[in-house]
Structure 1
Amino acid sequence: MISLAVLYFYLSRNVRAIHESLLQSRIYHLGSIILSIITIIFYFQPFKNVALPQNLAFLKNPGFTPVGSQLDLAILLGFFIIIGIVNILKKGEKTSPLRSIIYHLGSIILPLTALFLTIYSLIKPVGTDVINHVSTLILPPFRLSWFAALEILKNPASAIIGIGPDNFSAIFTRVKDFAYNQSPLWQINSFNVSRSAILQILTETGIFGLLTFGLLIFNAIKQLVKGDHKGSPLQLFLFLYLIICLLIFPPSLILWFLFFILIAELSKIYNLGSNINKQIIDLSDLLPICVGIVIISLGLIGASGYFLGRTYASEYFFKKSIDGIALNNAKLVYDNQRQAIILNPYIERFRSSFAQTNILIANNLALKNKDGKITEQDRQTITQAIQAGISEGKVVVSLNPQKAGNWQSLASIYANIINAAAGADVWTISAFQRAILADPQNPVYRVSLGGVYYSQNKYDDALRFFEQAISLKPDWPNASYNYAWANFQKKNYPQAVNALQATIKLIDPKLNKADYDKALKELEEFKKMLPNEDVQVDQSGEKNQSGSLNLPTPPTTQISPKLELPKEASPEAK
């Protein structure tokens, strides 16, 4: 946003550009044509069956676009189309060379074709993936985005200044409800942005931020409709288009870039039509002030360049670590993730990935000996790797303790070392409980926590959390399946049979035959424990395909005797 503000002041105050309309320059027309051609070409996936080097493999992605996302691409193409249409209408008012007319027609037809293909790519079904039978375009529900904005008004402090940048996901988990769990989006634990950019401003910056943005919009409208140098029809249509986009689409860099470009154009109109007498001040006698301003400006530019350079370098090294995963090179992954964190220690995904890498290293070392007996040197290395993984996981939590996903990641780290480190089971439970507090409507966390108790043969506690998961998501087969097995282990055979029957009713045999047959077979085994009962399988009811049937499985890493970790490894320790 700071960079966009600097761009705004440069464009709106640039003397050379004051009489030139950036929106009508050849750069826009040429950019529109080039982007449209690239979009049309890549829609047909020309590199789908071509062997590309690892660093160019992204060109095979059917959703690839130089803009970043398909939705941003559609917004940008719509912006270009409005410019093209208005320019064609203006050309039609007077005689123009045939070549110019063809040029402008091309600047409309190509973007329209590209926009049609992009919209089709966004709305076409993507099959039975994690989110069943939905389009590629996945947006936060507008209803919950509205509830999130209202939620901040309950507290005076958050109502005034909001919950802070990059904290929308934390408040989204607080306003999720039962209806969300019944939607196809339920497996998405949270969204990082609101459905509406306007609501995002209110949620993260509060009433103060919304009023500031409102003043900016009011000033833009005033420049559009008043005065001798009011905005052109092109600027009016683009302004309305961007306001609609800000109302119905999530915020993005492309959307804000277009908005600031347009605001800069409107500001140039004001500067052009201003009748205020300009005064020339001679600063030749104020040399110290001039030197001070120059030094401060250079210092700010240098500091900005330094931090931006570190940010870019950290992303570069993190990308290299991802390449290392594809090459199955653990050293390349570890070294580059570590370097990325050194350059930018405040990025949660860097820390989270590095934590998982350390735990993976520890697991691989422990699995070298299947009997769980390891050398003293390996034991020390494993201990160091586990401590590093836990430390990184806790740093992620400290960066944003309101995010349930951060607590869930920490819980997963502890869960991976339950059979390797003393006290890890207690820490796992504690971390999952914190995740549930942050995201109380999430059934997955409850099944995960119930699975920890199940693995420890604490079936009463496991049943309690499996039952809570069922109440939150009644049509999730895996919750009922785990509930059935926990009852079976506790020798509650009638309840186990009923729960497994309920599971079978939720599975569609046409789409998930393996799980369906598995559940039927296990039901027969359950029924054998009821010699005097004749239980019929009721296969009626609504079918649901929300993941596969999985029982809790303990981690494969086992070390004997278990490692003794310091108290600082617990989630409560600071």
Structure 2
Amino acid sequence: MDQQPQSSRLVELTSSLSSYVVAGFLALFPIFFLLFTSNPIEINKIALMIVACSLLGLAWIVQIMKKGSVLIRPSTILAALVLFTGTSVLSALATSSNRIDAFSGRTLVMLVMTGFFFFSTTIARRSTTIALSSKSNLFLWAYTFSAGLLGIFVLLQPTGFGLPWFINRSFGVSLPNSITFQTTGSLLLTLFLLISATIAHLTEVFAQKEKLEKTIHSGFFAFFLLASVVTGYFLLPNNEGALIFQPFSSSWSIAMDILKQPKTALIGVGPESYLSAFTQYKPVSLNTTPYWNVRFGSARIEVLQILTTTGIIGLLAFVFFYSSAFRTMFPLRAQTRSLVTIAATLLLYHLVFPATTVSFGILVAILSAICIEKNRQNDQDIIALSLFSVRSRDLYSSFTEQKSERLVRQISVALVSLLVFLGQAWSVLWFERLYRVEVLLQQSYMASVAGDLQKQYDLQAKTIALLPQSDRVRQIFATTNYLIATGIAGKKELSEQDKTTLNALVLQAVQEAKNATALNPLKTQNWETLLSIYQQLIGVVPEAEQWAVAGSVRAIQTDPANAMLRLNLGMLYAQLQDHNQATLLYRQAIELKPNLPGAYFQLSISLQELSRFEEAYQAMVQAQTLAKDPTLQVSEEEIKVIDEQVAALKKVVDDLQKQREAQQAQSQTTGTTSSTPTGTTQQQESSLPSGAIRLPEELGLPEEEAPTGVPTGTNESTPEPVATSPSPEPTPTPAE
């Protein structure tokens, strides 16, 4: 130990800082959010993680500089976290289709929280100034504070004065007054936090000896139990917060498909690429469930999520992390009983449900608190390292030898301190770019609400400059450009300036949509954006129809089990008057989802165009039957249209039948054979081979280059206003 009093006080101060930072993190992290980013919850919680980790890192640097040695405290949990994070980094580097996405989500969180655990547990030393007994547990009360606020807002929600009401009144925003808005990002996670607090205080009720302490913990136990029951009620089926999870069977099927390829079996598809894996490998059987048109961004359970995204190596690291956590916790259950119960509850959550940024952050912080409590009782497991060693080969004096060793230690400390500081600076600067983009996206959304299209355009252009490799910001910018263009095109009279601006906006919309597909070609939404823009430009931009078809084909290639994509491509071919190809695609959509009334309806329309009226009648009758199924939620107006079509086709088919009977009677009289009347051609077989789903061979990608401009001139046309969904702008509330 350092004998200098000032140095000892500084070491003691940095040691105390670890406890206060971890406790402050537990008190703030579950409830922390800010409204001036497009995602008010997750991005701001990552920012809080980085701030806490940076404070702990600086404290560690100060401590090793004062001690004159590089200090580490090895543990199985630290080794497991390093291995777990390393597999995520390896998978992100080797397999992810977009590095921006790969290092802005789960992998970034794991890197930061690994540093958080290392710094907080290493600088925590045997302390005389902080003596937390079972009567005054700093970490438990910090956790109780955040969980208590969550419980209060849950209990107030039925009265209409819950968290959204409080935020709206405090900040002048207009969030929907719903229980589904939670600062944890998930009502389910809120429930688990409340349950863990309930169990923790129940443990203290049985452990405490003094009556006052028992009474206090009993009160908190009753409060958290009530809040847990109310939260659980909201999560029941048909209630406001009812859960929607990917079925286990489809999660399992996707994971097994990943294992069929050696590379992805080993290291997965990438930490942030589960959505791409879902669309690529989604089983057709999912189309028979109510979630057939939902794109899930996570597996049913965390084990399958990790197996899919980081492969077998990641799964082994996950198992090692779990076993290390339990081996560390349970020997300490007597000293840290309440923290152990909280950690065990969160570990259970990660086994049964997919992990989130919030759940993983709280879990690592609780494990850090347990290890800090352990370290206060024992400093013997801390190790002082030197990057270099001094070994005398000649007869140096003892003084020279000691001086050399001291110099080597100083160099080691300086070098490690510099590396840690540079690493923290890099992470802060990298995250600052991500954060500024989220702020700009929210500002652009507010500008669009205010009708300031120029400001909206300028702000989104800045996001491109900050993150040019992000397909997400380019997709948003592409949609915004086209929506602004359609607004201009809707004017009754266009000036020359309007025409010039319109052309530039359409061209930029096309180019940004193409850039998004180039940056992340496995993301179905990028191709859907491109085909949507080109579909609106058919008849305006040369070869737009070919690019619309190409975009739709690529979207189908990234999501081959999606019946709606094939239905939409069939409708595109019908728009281009290629009804033969349209009918093939409609039949494919029906094979993928046999209870899709829209596919039967569109199939009937195209068959009518081909004068195959009997087949058209059969398809329309099938659409009519399905439309009456209340679970498919077909509107009354749509049912009325289908009924009218069925009646009209029935009349045509009856007329054809009468013609056939008349021809047969005439043939019996004359002894000749009649030809088949119009509308009785044999049904064309589907292009789908048995047991496989593929694209028709004739649907290859066009070989033409992308259009480089929009035609101009005195007779130029302008695109019709887009009748599509609103732009995927950032919203002030998180997506459920």
State whether TM-score is above 0.5.
yes
8 Å CA contact 1:442, 1:472 repeated in 2: yes
- Amino acid paired to 1:161: I
Q: Which moved more, 1:155-164 or 1:324-333?
A: 324-333
Q: Which moved more, 1:35-44 or 1:278-287?
A: 278-287
2:549 alignment partner, SS class: helix
Counterpart check, 1:145 vs 2:267: no
Give the equivalent residue in structure 2 for 1:173. 279
Counterpart check, 1:424 vs 2:544: yes
Stretches of structure 2 lacking an aligned partner (at least 5 in a row): 1-109, 387-401, 659-709, 720-736
Deviation at 1:303, TM superposition (A): 2.3
- Amino acid paired to 1:103: I
CA separation of 1:279 and 1:46: change in aligned 2, threshold 3 A: closer
Pick from 440, 443, 453: which aligns with 1:330?
Answer: 453
Deviation at 1:284, TM superposition (A): 5.5
Q: Which has the larger radius of gyration?
A: 2
Counterpart check, 1:358 vs 2:448: no
Deviation at 1:260, TM superposition (A): 0.9
CA separation of 1:125 and 1:346: change in aligned 2, threshold 3 A: farther
- Amino acid paired to 1:160: L
Counterpart check, 1:500 vs 2:620: yes
Deviation at 1:441, TM superposition (A): 0.8
Deviation at 1:270, TM superposition (A): 5.8
CA separation of 1:231 and 1:393: change in aligned 2, threshold 3 A: farther
2:259 alignment partner, SS class: helix
Cα deviation digits, residues 109-147 of structure 1 (max 9, x gap): 2222222222222224269xxxxxxx7311112222222
8 Å CA contact 1:220, 1:266 repeated in 2: no
- Amino acid paired to 1:241: T
Separation (CA, whole Å) in 2 of partners of 1:498 and 1:450: 19
Question: Pairwise mapping of residues 95-134 of structure 1 onto structure 2 (< 5 A)?
Answer: 95-97=210-212, 100-125=213-238
- Amino acid paired to 2:143: Y
Pick from 474, 491, 500: which aligns with 2:611?
Answer: 491
Give the equivalent residue in structure 1 for 2:59. none
Separation (CA, whole Å) in 2 of partners of 1:534 and 1:118: 63
Give the equivalent residue in structure 2 for 1:524. 647
Separation (CA, whole Å) in 2 of partners of 1:260 and 1:410: 41
Give the equivalent residue in structure 2 for 1:71. 188
8 Å CA contact 2:617, 2:653 repeated in 1: no
CA separation of 1:66 and 1:219: change in aligned 2, threshold 3 A: closer
Give the equivalent residue in structure 2 for 1:130. none
Give the equivalent residue in structure 1 for 2:152. 37
Give the equivalent residue in structure 2 for 1:217. 322
Deviation at 1:533, TM superposition (A): 6.2
Cα deviation digits, residues 235-277 of structure 1 (max 9, x gap): 5544442332112211201221232123324434664457558
Deviation at 1:399, TM superposition (A): 2.8
Q: Which moved more, 1:72-81 or 1:289-298?
A: 289-298
8 Å CA contact 1:8, 1:260 repeated in 2: yes
Pick from 291, 294, 298: which aligns with 1:193?
Answer: 298
- Amino acid paired to 2:288: Q
Pick from 391, 407, 410: which aligns with 1:285?
Answer: 407
Question: Pairwise mapping of residues 77-92 of structure 1 onto structure 2 (< 5 A)?
Answer: 77-91=194-208
Separation (CA, whole Å) in 1 of partners of 2:365 and 2:558: 39
What RMSD over aligned residues (CA atoms) do the two structures have, in Å? Answer: 3.3
1:154 alignment partner, SS class: coil
Cα deviation digits, residues 317-368 of structure 1 (max 9, x gap): 1112222333333223222222233333344432222111111122222332
Give the equivalent residue in structure 1 for 2:472. 349
8 Å CA contact 2:613, 2:652 repeated in 1: yes
Number of positions where the alignment pairs a residue of Structure 1 with one of Structure 2? 527
Give the equivalent residue in structure 2 for 1:131. none
Give the equivalent residue in structure 2 for 1:249. 353
CA separation of 1:469 and 1:393: change in aligned 2, threshold 3 A: same
Pick from 131, 141, 147: which aligns with 1:26?
Answer: 141
Cα deviation digits, residues 167-197 of structure 1 (max 9, x gap): 1111112332232101010111x21112212
- In percent, how many aligned pairs have the same letter? 25
Separation (CA, whole Å) in 2 of partners of 1:54 and 1:32: 22
Separation (CA, whole Å) in 2 of partners of 1:163 and 1:327: 41
8 Å CA contact 2:154, 2:179 repeated in 1: no
Give the equivalent residue in structure 2 for 1:549. none
8 Å CA contact 1:42, 1:64 repeated in 2: no
Separation (CA, whole Å) in 2 of partners of 1:497 and 1:252: 50
Give the equivalent residue in structure 1 for 2:311. 206
- Amino acid paired to 1:31: S
Cα deviation digits, residues 434-474 of structure 1 (max 9, x gap): 11111111011001101111111111111111111111111
Cα deviation digits, residues 365-398 of structure 1 (max 9, x gap): 233258xxx6554443223212211222122223
CA separation of 1:499 and 1:89: change in aligned 2, threshold 3 A: same
Pick from 114, 118, 122: which aligns with 1:9?
Answer: 118
2:655 alignment partner, SS class: coil
Question: Pairwise mapping of residues 44-55 of structure 1 onto structure 2 (< 5 A)?
Answer: 44-46=159-161
Q: Which moved more, 1:301-310 or 1:502-511?
A: 502-511
- Amino acid paired to 2:116: L
- Amino acid paired to 1:74: L
Question: Pairwise mapping of residues 412-561 of structure 1 onto structure 2 (< 5 A)?
Answer: 412-508=532-628, 512-532=635-655, 561=716
Which structure has more RCO (C-alpha within 8 Å, separation ≥ 6)?
Answer: 2
8 Å CA contact 2:340, 2:370 repeated in 1: no
CA separation of 1:217 and 1:154: change in aligned 2, threshold 3 A: same
CA separation of 1:338 and 1:199: change in aligned 2, threshold 3 A: same
Separation (CA, whole Å) in 2 of partners of 1:321 and 1:88: 52
Separation (CA, whole Å) in 2 of partners of 1:82 and 1:114: 13
Separation (CA, whole Å) in 2 of partners of 1:235 and 1:63: 28
8 Å CA contact 1:224, 1:230 repeated in 2: no
Stretches of structure 1 lacking an aligned partner (at least 5 in a row): 128-134, 536-556, 565-574
Counterpart check, 1:304 vs 2:409: no
8 Å CA contact 1:11, 1:17 repeated in 2: no
8 Å CA contact 1:231, 1:266 repeated in 2: no
Cα deviation digits, residues 396-435 of structure 1 (max 9, x gap): 2233212222222221121121232111100010111111
Q: Which moved more, 1:112-121 or 1:410-419?
A: 112-121
Q: Which moved more, 1:193-202 or 1:267-276?
A: 267-276
Q: Which moved more, 1:412-421 or 1:441-450?
A: 412-421
Separation (CA, whole Å) in 2 of partners of 1:218 and 1:230: 19
Q: Which moved more, 1:212-221 or 1:418-427?
A: 212-221
